[in-house]
A and B are shown apart, each in its own frame.
Chain A
Amino acid sequence: MGIAHSIQSISFLSDFSQSVLAYPIVLSTHLTCIALFGGMILATDLRLLGLSLKSLTVTEVVTSLRPWKRLGGTIMISMGLLLASSKAEEYAANPIFWTKMIILGLIGVHALIFRPIVYNKTEELDRSPVMPARAKAAAILSLVLWTAMFTMGRLIAYWD
């Protein structure tokens, strides 16, 4: 608990967690990113599954949404980091928070596995007459992981 206590005692972070305005603004920004980013993830996944946006190529959906997903992801993670570190002691003792971090790690693994064979090979997917199983697997796993991610995020507050 030593490290967690030192982190949340950094005066900037303890001021932040006590603040009436800054804390809810950062939390709202975190959730706004979930909404904006969530729609883009859903769009990509449903396109890979061939369930929607069928008149657009996979390449168009993946590449035109990529910069926005990166921006959204960066803001989301920065805000999340601020929220968690301002209550580091509470979070470090919370198994739901660590479950969420494991899911975040799995999302990283998902990217490492599927980026080279799906997301960076979209032209190949567009040429293929049927969507390959690896693309569908990437989409389904992405939906499962992101659902688990926001669910754990909300449940953090319920652990005591």
Chain B
Amino acid sequence: MLVQNAIADTLNNAEWTFALAECLHIGGFAVGIGSIALVDLRMLNLGLRKETAARILKYTEPWTMVALVFVVFSGLMLFLAQPEIYLQRAPYVLNERFMFLLKMSLLATAVLYNFTVHRRVAKMDNPPPALSKLVAAVSLVLWVSIVFGGIFIGFLQ
């Protein structure tokens, strides 16, 4: 085994810990992505129209941050349970490792995008509607692709 650690031992030997980490991961991304999607929905002008995107962002940002912490920590636990499948498999082949690295790249992009471009446009006083819509659509596509990436990790070998 690549890593011999107390977390991996607990995760692999106590059956409920891995399941618990998975549930926290799902609950976390539901709140995290769901809260960002509320801002996107407003930026697309498809809901919550009686308030500005900036205000919706202000309300939902704390949920996003707390959820992100849960997702990253539970994700780290899931990773540490079997780090070898993510790190030691053959590179450049469509396998778990490839999908994991793709998902992590998308995640890094999405987080960076969320706290720079997305945030800035959501906070604009009078953004061009086309810009708002484009920025929101890119945000939704990025976050949804991360969910797909996470599921596909488990279906590749």
Binding site for B on A (CB under 8 A): 20, 23-25, 27-28, 31-32, 34-43, 52-53, 55-57, 60-61, 64-65, 68, 147, 150-151, 153-155, 158
Contacts and interface: CB of A to CB of B under 8 A. Distances in A.
Contact of A40 (B23, B34, B36, B50): B34
Given A28-B148, A42-B35, A68-B46, A35 B30 contact: yes
B48 A61 contact: yes
Given A154-B26, A155-B23, 18 more contacts: A20-B155, A24-B151, A24-B155, A28-B148, A31-B26, A32-B147, A35-B30, A36-B33, A36-B37, A43-B60, A52-B59, A52-B60, A53-B51, A56-B48, A60-B51, A68-B46, A68-B47, A155-B19
A23 B15 CA distance: 26
Given A52-B59, A64-B47, A35 B147 contact: yes
**Which 10 pairs show the lowest CB-CB distances between chains A and B?**
A39-B34, A38-B30, A35-B33, A28-B148, A64-B47, A28-B151, A24-B155, A38-B34, A60-B50, A35-B30
B152 interface: yes
B120 interface: no
A39 B50 contact: no
A27 B48 contact: no
A68 to B, nearest CB: 6
Nearest to A31: B147
A66 to B, nearest CB: 9
B29 interface: yes
Contacts of B152: 24, 28
A35 B144 CA distance: 9
Q: Chain B interface secondary structure, helix, strand, loop or mixed?
A: helix
Contacts of A31: 26, 147, 150-151
A44 to B, nearest CB: 11
27 contacts: A24-B151, A24-B152, A25-B148, A28-B148, A32-B144, A32-B148, A34-B26, A34-B30, A35-B37, A35-B147, A36-B34, A36-B37, A39-B30, A39-B31, A39-B38, A40-B34, A40-B38, A43-B38, A53-B48, A56-B51, A64-B48, A64-B49, A64-B50, A68-B41, A150-B30, A151-B27, A155-B19
Contacts of A24: 148, 151-152, 154-155
B63 interface: yes
B151 to A, nearest CB: 4
A61 B50 CA distance: 9
A42 B63 contact: yes
B28 to A, nearest CB: 10
A101 B120 CA distance: 43
